[in-house]
Amino acid sequence: MLEHMRTGDWLTRERVRIIAVTLLIVYLLFMAFLFATSNGRVDRFDRPLGTDYSQVWTAGRFVLEGHPEKPFDNAAHQRRQEEYFSPTSGFFHWGYPPYFLVVAAFFALFPYALSLLLWQGSTLLLYLVAVRRIAPIQDCLLVAAAFPAVFINIGHGHNGFLSAGLMALALLALERRPVVAGVLFGLLAYKPQFGLLVPIALLAGGHWRAIAAAGATIAAMTLGTAWAFGWETWRGFFDMMHFSRVVISEQGATGWYKIQTIFSAVRMWGGSIPLAYGVQAVCALGCAATVAWMWFARADRRLAAAALMTGALLSTPYALDYDMMLLGPALAFVIAHGIERGFRPWEKTTLAVIWAVPLLARVLTMTTFIPVGQIAMVVFMAMIFHRAWPNARHGRDGSGEARPRRGIFRGVTARDVRF
């Protein structure tokens, strides 16, 4: 049995299909049950359908009513959520920059249940398109759709599909369409905690046009939202950042078992806030150094992309299990590289475990106090580095040919992945 685990031979195409189809059926049945037993807004467990999406739709309604500053007022936002959903369904606070109010306002044009379906359906499609372009192989979409973080993201009505799709498509567009890539990176500013390593990667890779486009996009969005919604929305956002940092992140109001970061693991084990920030900073610096080296040293473009997406999760003090959607495209990049270049012992089994971790991370952390998700992401980052090291340190791309220093993604398209 150990030999099969070492070689990964147990991971046959038939077994992969059975696992993926089974999970998809379970996901669909569970979601159908929630919708069928709801009143269109609240499920039978007295929670809003899509839980966290309730804050987005409520914020959007505020914008449509001419009060874009209200989502940053916790008391007003809570009262409105209680009116729309249930006084006992809990409060989901708004912590996004004003950029995201544009998205919220658009989807708030529709009735809640339809809005939730349109939001999740459109962003899921974006994620699937990105993964298909990364790894155009048989059963790619099936495995991508069955990725457990998909189920978690749908259950929370969250934006993991959007984040994963934007970052993956930005990475794919980086060489041939650097301005488009920069715009996509700029759009990710609605989740600023995941952009910490993006400037480092782009600077190390010499992607100046993408940097300029990203900066221009963020500047335009900032000025545009200030003009449309007023500067008071930005003041509200910065005031809300204090609440988010102290109550949500440092005090763990969300629940340490839900937060998949090094910071939360230290806090869960009883570490002080300064200690948790210190350990998180060490992890972030390690990720930054790894990403900078891979992008500067001409590592294989797929591995460099996977390192950036995984490092984005490891470098922030606040990310939840639905944010592990970023691992979906990262896994696709590594799998595409492995199919072309070959897998090393234990890698297939390790990748399968990492793929499954989002489904188990919350419950295992809650019951064992072992930060399973964080451990999996550290192992994945180490695997990516290990695969990249032999060739990148000699300035080669894995084919034995030296590569030019600038543009580690030059010419990458789905057709570049050969099998």
pLDDT of residue 393: 56
Domain of 233, in residue numbers: 2-416
User: Mean of the pLDDT values across residues 184-203?
Assistant: 97
Question: pLDDT at position 394, please?
Answer: 55
Q: Which of the pair, 336 or 406, is modelled with greater confidence?
A: 336
- In this model, does residue 314 exceed pLDDT 60? yes
For the chain, what is the domain count?
Answer: 1
Judged against a pLDDT cut of 60, whether residue 405 lies above it is answered with no
The pLDDT assigned to 417 comes to: 33
Q: Exposed e or buried b for every residue in 70-86, given b needs 16+ CB within 10 A?
A: bbbbeeebbebbeebbb
pLDDT at 90: 87
The pLDDT, as a whole number, for residue 269 is 97
- Residue 412: pLDDT band (50, 70, 90) is very low
Hey, is 389 helix, strand or coil?
Answer: helix
Spatial separation of the C-alpha atoms in residues 347 and 311, rounded to whole Å: 19
Which pLDDT value is given to residue 336? 95
Q: How far apart are the first and last CA of the chain?
A: 28
Instruction: Supply the pLDDT for residue 401.
Output: 46
Average pLDDT of span 211-237: 97
Q: Is 16 a residue whose pLDDT tops 60?
A: yes
d(CA 115, CA 132): 26
pLDDT number for residue 411: 38
Q: Is 398's pLDDT higher than 80?
A: no
* Distance, CA of 286 to CA of 199 (rounded, Å): 15
Q: What is the pLDDT of residues 100-159, one digit of tens each?
A: 999 999 999 999 999 999 999 999 999 999 999 999 888 999 999 999 999 999 999 999
- Taking alpha carbons only, the member of 254, 129, 234, 247 closest to residue 189 is 234
Split at pLDDT 50, 70, 90, the class of 414 is: very low
Spatial CA neighbour of 91 closest among 229, 234, 247 = 247
Q: How much is the pLDDT for 413?
A: 40
- What percent of the chain is predicted at pLDDT more than 90? 84
Token representation of residue 373: 């998700």
Q: Could you tell me where the DSSP H helices lie in 258-300?
A: 262-268, 273-296
Tell whether the model's pLDDT for residue 188 goes beyond 90: yes
Say if residue 246's pLDDT is above 70: yes
Question: Where do we find the tokens 């032999």?
Answer: 390
252-272: average pLDDT: 95
Q: Return the SS3 of 393.
A: coil
CA distance 383 to 379: 6
Who has greater pLDDT, 301 or 5? 301
The predicted pLDDT at position 395 comes to 54
- Rounded CA separation 318/316 (Å): 5
Q: Virtual CA dihedral for 31, 36, 41, 46, nearest 10 degrees? A: -80
Does position 399 have pLDDT exceeding 60, yes or no? no
The SS3 of residue 136 is coil
Residue with the bigger pLDDT between 278 and 299: it is 278
DSSP state, residue 343: P
- 71-93, pLDDT tens digit by residue? 999 999 999 999 999 999 889 99
pLDDT tens digits, one per residue of 162-183: 999 999 999 999 999 999 999 9
Arithmetic mean of pLDDT, 231-248? 92
What's the mean per-residue pLDDT of the chain?
A: 92
DSSP state of 398: S
The pLDDT value recorded for residue 392 is: 63
Mean pLDDT of 268-295: 97
